[in-house]
Chains A and B, each alone.
Chain A
Amino acid sequence: MNTIKENNWLYTISPKKRAINLNFKEIWNYRDLLFLFVKRDVITQYKQTILGPLWYLAQPLFTTVIFTLVFNNIASIDTGDGIPSFLFNLAGITSWNYFSACLSGTSDTFKANQGIFGKVYFPRVITPLSVVVSNLLKFGIQLLVFISFYFYFVYFTDAASLARPVIVILLLPIVILIMALIGLGFGMALSSMTTKYRDLSYLVGFGVQLLMYGSAVMYPLSLIKEKVEHGVLPKLVGSLIEYNPMTITIELFRHMTLGVGEFSLTKFLYALVVSIFIFLLGLILFNKTEKSFIDTV
Chain B
Amino acid sequence: MRVLAALIAVLVLSAIPVAGIALGWDALFGIAVPYLALAVFLAGIVVKVLGWGMSPVPFRITTTTGQQRSLPWIRRQPLESPSTGWETFLRMITEIVLFRSLFRNTRADLKQGRIVHGSAKWLWLFGLMFHASFLVILLRHFKYFVEPAPAWVGWLQNLDGFFQVGLPIIYLTDVLFMLAVGYLLLRRVLQPELRYLSLAADYLPLFLLLGIAGTGVSMRYLWKVDIVSVKQLAAGLLSFSPQSPDGIGTLFYVHLFLVSSLLAYFPFSKLMHMAGVFLSPTRNLANNSRAVRHVNPWDYPVKVHTYAEYEDEFRQVMKAAGLPLEHDPDGQSGGGGSKPRAHEPAEQERPHSAGEDSADG
Question: Do A and B truly interact?
Answer: no
> Which A residues form the contact surface with B (CB < 8 A)?
none
